[in-house]
Structure 1
């Protein structure tokens, strides 16, 4: 329906204008996630500024936007409620350190283990989550202090402004791409609302609704520069026990969401980000957050999509977004406070359309049922529970499906060679799922005195395969027959205990396995 991805290469003008657009979209989400975590709005805004600035400057994915996120905010709630915000700052520092270590030890490459159906489920689930989050803007405070769905004129104005925002974003690129359509849409809708004095909720209305009525008049998004401070907590083992579980979960959730967003932008822009460098960038940003009073965060797929769609490709786009956000906080809070929520909702609805992988409906009809199940499972868990849980569940289920499907894929062609030896030419993987079928292939009791097992077209994948081969060697030894094992790797030879003496070494033909390369990490 929409061609939403701007294919223009990054340049200074595109990056700056796109960054300004993103800055507008960062404010309400940073404030909302601050309240989710149980901290003050300025803690969320500081987090958005510092995360965006640092990851854009030193991270591994130019054009990707980081800030305070809901996935991490929900992890923080319990710690803040039980021990206070100072313990949160300490946990964020520790989480940042763990993320830096993940980058130093080059663990970013393991994001490649996430199967394609899991990626599709992650993208679709996140699009649905973003959509559902925007529906909350269609609720207003009722007479009894409860949120109620809009109705009547208020609803029609909201829908009209959202529709107008989406129409501008869709139609303007057909006329010109000189200015990001999202920025024009936000400015135009803001001008219409205040020019015609329409009764539409603004960003400051949204913020004030989240605090007690007695404090609403004093609420503002104006602030000052964040200042350095060491968290006021006792430096004891007991404190470490308190913050460590939260820090580990924050680190994992942040890295999973950031690296998956990185992979998504890689695919959409046909470029290559560096996962390990992004781990370090995210870690440094979170560590700084903890020392400067921010709630931390990770990559934001919604704002990243706004940036990419608006032409932002370089590091300057994220840096601009962060600095403009800081400018709003320090000097121009009234400007951001007057932006109608409808304009931001319209921008996010366009993001939903661009984020959702509509082709997955066609893909589901063409792939096997197992992949379709994983896709829908990850989508559902992302919506119901959490992104990190969804990805872990998806990877586990995909691995189990793979193991089940390949459990019977090991087979052997056997023949008798010129010397009267029986040769088993194995094909397929030998691992925990296929060891039972592997044992059934051989007949130690009736085989001749010399037997060859050739692994040229096979591979031992795990310790279960090693153990199965050792057990088979025992059976042939009990029958007084000689076993010859060919074409296994040096790594396997080291691990074999009982069968090791039967291995025939051929330096030129024996395989050498390699693990995932860190070169592109």
Structure 2
């Protein structure tokens, strides 16, 4: 990624100023995702406040920003449409409980199973998604209620102000890093627009454009403190059947996006977050959301990149962003409403440039075609479908590619010992993918009377390998020949059914590795 980081050390000044910048960028996305989920804007703003505050305080990755996200919003749409917002709150609570359990049972470690090409695809896909989402700001609603692209002077001002914002963010750190460049850019463009009375859409214009005609005149981002309320749904099994599918998907999507974002920030800052603690933090935040009227959420890669690029490293940056956002909602909504969308779009475009793994184009030329395929596959699915689906597909495809490549790695060197016995010295893994190659290595019909299979340089990985050995023992038995199996672990020997009698045990030389099996339990 392009290195736009202004500071790698945490301090109070950087955290506070970076938090203010993040708070400004949280508003339009929280509102937009609320509309995606089919709920009121304040539900999204409450979610951004509570997710940001709680995960920053008790989560496992200082500097990472959480809030209402599009990945989770699209999952909520059907439940809200069919059963109403109270069932959504109940589903968010259940999703939070599941996330807490995931962290408690230390399931966060499984993020290590995500291969590097999948990680690259995830980062590139989200960068493209963030970019495409910003293009919506270049549309307006005409008199017929239909969205259309900006034209004329409005479009030119939008492009010019966006470019100005990006230029300030790029060049200011070369002069000074005393204040976050993103914050300076937003303030400068806002003062310029209102000081010169330029034709530019603001945050409140964006909110009004998403509301029905009869609500546009009274649109505001002003609100009050969220209040505690138990979701008004029947406490029975029918409710559980309704909310459980949505809750499980919300849990998985939230954890996958959060843990992958955590890994990305670890790489950028050369530090290490705590995945299981982050699972618990996300779970507590979502549970609180459900009881206080928020739509829940997870880590936000865009706002997290703004925070990191602006120098935010500690927990104070996320806490500041959440509290400043709440302050805007309670006391200073007019200030937020007057921010030009062009300034926020410019900030997000810089995030896109900094997030996208431009080095992946060089990597594609240097790695094998299988990794390149996985990278582009995950990127494409992230853009056209869903992050969680993309990661799952990427992991599965990577696993299949790994199995296919290692299926041909098993081979044997043969020689005849002093007794005239034929010895097969196996090398490579024996598992479901290499079984066919394993069987082709032997010639029961033409082999001598005594045959030795030596597993000193090989290892049996699964039950398919054990079954292949049993099948081979049957073939030699049919030929009336004596089979000798050496250097196999005692655990594997116990799991063999037909070939167990041929195993020659050597306590000093035989390998020992534990196998999880009910037969050995």
TM range (shorter): over 0.9
Residue 3 of structure 1 and its aligned partner are, at CA, apart by 3.3
Q: Number of residue pairs matched?
A: 515
Would you say 1:123 and 2:116 are equivalent positions?
no
Would you say 1:236 and 2:197 are equivalent positions?
no
Aligned partner of 2:390 in structure 1 is: 390
Measure the CA separation in 1 of the matches of 2:508 and 2:185.
65
Aligned partner of 1:445 in structure 2 is: 445
Measure the CA separation in 2 of the matches of 1:104 and 1:491.
31
Measure the CA separation in 2 of the matches of 1:318 and 1:512.
49
Measure the CA separation in 1 of the matches of 2:35 and 2:505.
65
Aligned partner of 2:209 in structure 1 is: 209
Change in Cα spacing, 1:513 to 1:24, as seen in structure 2 (3 Å) is: farther
Measure the CA separation in 2 of the matches of 1:272 and 1:482.
56
Would you say 1:246 and 2:246 are equivalent positions?
yes
Aligned partner of 2:223 in structure 1 is: 223
Measure the CA separation in 1 of the matches of 2:176 and 2:494.
65
Give SS of 1:217's match. coil
Comparing 473-482 and 143-152, the one that deviates more: 473-482
Change in Cα spacing, 1:489 to 1:216, as seen in structure 2 (3 Å) is: farther
Would you say 1:407 and 2:407 are equivalent positions?
yes
Aligned partner of 1:101 in structure 2 is: 101
Aligned partner of 1:308 in structure 2 is: 308
Measure the CA separation in 2 of the matches of 1:60 and 1:488.
43
Give SS of 1:218's match. coil
Measure the CA separation in 2 of the matches of 1:180 and 1:24.
13
Aligned partner of 1:287 in structure 2 is: 287
Alignment of 1:145-184 (within 5 A): 145-184=145-184
Comparing 432-441 and 493-502, the one that deviates more: 493-502
Aligned partner of 2:81 in structure 1 is: 81
The answer to whether the 8 A contact 1:90-1:243 is kept is yes
Aligned partner of 1:518 in structure 2 is: none
Comparing 37-46 and 366-375, the one that deviates more: 366-375
The answer to whether the 8 A contact 2:19-2:320 is kept is yes
The answer to whether the 8 A contact 1:2-1:170 is kept is no
Gapped regions of structure 2 (runs ≥ 5): 516-521
The answer to whether the 8 A contact 1:7-1:269 is kept is no
Change in Cα spacing, 1:87 to 1:472, as seen in structure 2 (3 Å) is: same
- The superposition leaves residues 17-43 of structure 1 with CA deviations (integer Å, 9 ceiling, x where unpaired) of 111111111111011000000011111
Residue 512 of structure 1 and its aligned partner are, at CA, apart by 4.5
State the TM-score, normalized to the length of structure 1: 0.95
The answer to whether the 8 A contact 2:222-2:329 is kept is yes
The answer to whether the 8 A contact 2:47-2:294 is kept is yes
Alignment of 1:426-437 (within 5 A): 426-437=426-437
Alignment of 1:311-322 (within 5 A): 311-322=311-322
Residue 326 of structure 1 and its aligned partner are, at CA, apart by 1.1
Change in Cα spacing, 1:513 to 1:342, as seen in structure 2 (3 Å) is: farther
State the TM-score, normalized to the length of structure 2: 0.95
Aligned partner of 1:457 in structure 2 is: 457
Change in Cα spacing, 1:370 to 1:221, as seen in structure 2 (3 Å) is: same
Aligned partner of 1:28 in structure 2 is: 28
Give SS of 2:140's match. strand
